[in-house]
Amino acid sequence: MRGLHRSPDMRRMIAEINQGYTPQLIVLDGVEAFVDGGPSRGTRKQANVFVAGTDRVAVDAVGIAILKDLGSNDAIMGTKIFQQEQIQRAAEVKLGISRPDQIELISPDKASREYTKTLRTILSEG
């Protein structure tokens, strides 16, 4: 994993590694998120969300929308979601969706539905 994390092609490689398997369910634990740095050190913020889905590109795209909502680093904030290297490559190799309008967000309660509106706006703007 060190080689992966030190590679300048890390984000593209993550998408390619994912071609080796097809998960039934993807769960993003967004209780606390690295908005800069990571995977072991960096700036963290509380998001207090869980995202689950069957499309790994959609779940990653929503994760990036969450990071944008929290205020992340320049690489995240300054690049549209579907132009992020990892998302773009995952869509190229057909791991999942390729556009934000293909994401269906379902929320169980009023507070979640309000946050879903925020995420939809961020997703549509990129």
Would you write out the chain's pLDDT as a tens digit for each of its 126 residues?
566 556 666 667 777 777 788 899 999 999 999 999 887 788 999 999 999 999 999 999 999 999 999 999 999 999 999 999 889 999 999 999 999 999 999 999 999 999 999 999 999 997
User: How many Cβ atoms from other residues are within 10 Å of residue 100's Cβ?
Assistant: 21
Hey, where are the domains in the chain? 2-125
Q: Which residues contact 124 (CB under 8 A, 6 or more apart)?
A: 100, 101
Q: Which tokens hold the place of 42?
A: 């960096």
SS3 98: coil
Q: What is the pTM of this model?
A: 0.88
